[in-house]
Copies of this chain bind each other. A is one copy, B any other.
Amino acid sequence: MLKSDRTRQRILNTAAQEFRKRGYAGTKVNDIAFASNMRAASIYYYFESKDQIFEEVLEIGLKLVFDAVRKAVDAVPASSGHRARLQAAVEAHLRMLHEYGDYSSANIRNFGQTPEEIQLRQMEQRNAYGEYWRDLLAAARDAGALQDRANLSLLRMFLFGAMNWTLEWVKPGKMNSSELARELCRTMFDES
């Protein structure tokens, strides 16, 4: 029962890579197959359709990040304060974004071009992640760790943009997520 799971995972990995590089419609089942060392028909032993693969890649792309961020935040000692929690969250988000760059990028790049039906199913997770950050930032502000700002949700959107955009310019392997996180937090959170 293990070989099968590993093959399935291998297909997902190469699929994520292809979706990142070529987009939803530009990725051919045949490409995924050959990059996974098999023929197109064999893919259908593991997945019902190209859409199913795509949706699973999207899902993984978000879940990996969300889980890691939650875990990183929970690992910050309570004594460290909200500013440290924020920075841990940013660091984890960035780290996962690049450690699983094909999944995250497949998600971020293609979400807006996904068939609506799939988009709707993904929305639940997306919103949950957004709310997680909203709460994180609100808690920080309420604790005085952020200078009072007119609009916290703007800050959150700017932050998402800055973080997600790193996928488009940071060279693969050149990622130093903690340094990047430190600098980004300094830019966006400190007005001392």
Interface of A is mostly: helix
Between A110, A149, A183, A187, the greatest number of chain B beta carbons within 10 A of the residue's beta carbon is seen for A187
Q: Let me know if A175 is at the binding interface, CB within 8 A.
A: no
Range for the number of chain A residues in contact with chain B: 35 or more
Q: Which of A1-9, A18-26, A35-43, A79-87 contacts B (4 or more CB under 8 A)?
A: A18-26
Q: Which of A156-176 contact B (CB under 8 A)?
A: 157-166, 168-169
Q: Let me know if A154 is at the binding interface, CB within 8 A.
A: yes
Given A150-B183, A164-B165, A183-B151, do A110 and B23 touch, yes or no (CB 8 Å)? yes
> Across the two chains, which residue of chain B brings its CB closest to A192?
B191
Do the beta carbons of A166 and B157 come within 8 Å of each other?
Answer: yes
Do the beta carbons of A165 and B165 come within 8 Å of each other?
Answer: yes
Q: Let me know if A128 is at the binding interface, CB within 8 A.
A: no
Do the beta carbons of B21 and A168 come within 8 Å of each other?
Answer: no
Q: In the bound complex, how far is the Cα of B184 from the Cα of A112, in angstroms?
A: 24
A residues touching B (Cβ–Cβ < 8 Å)?
20-26, 105, 109-110, 112-113, 149-151, 154-155, 157-166, 168-169, 180, 183-184, 187-188, 190-192
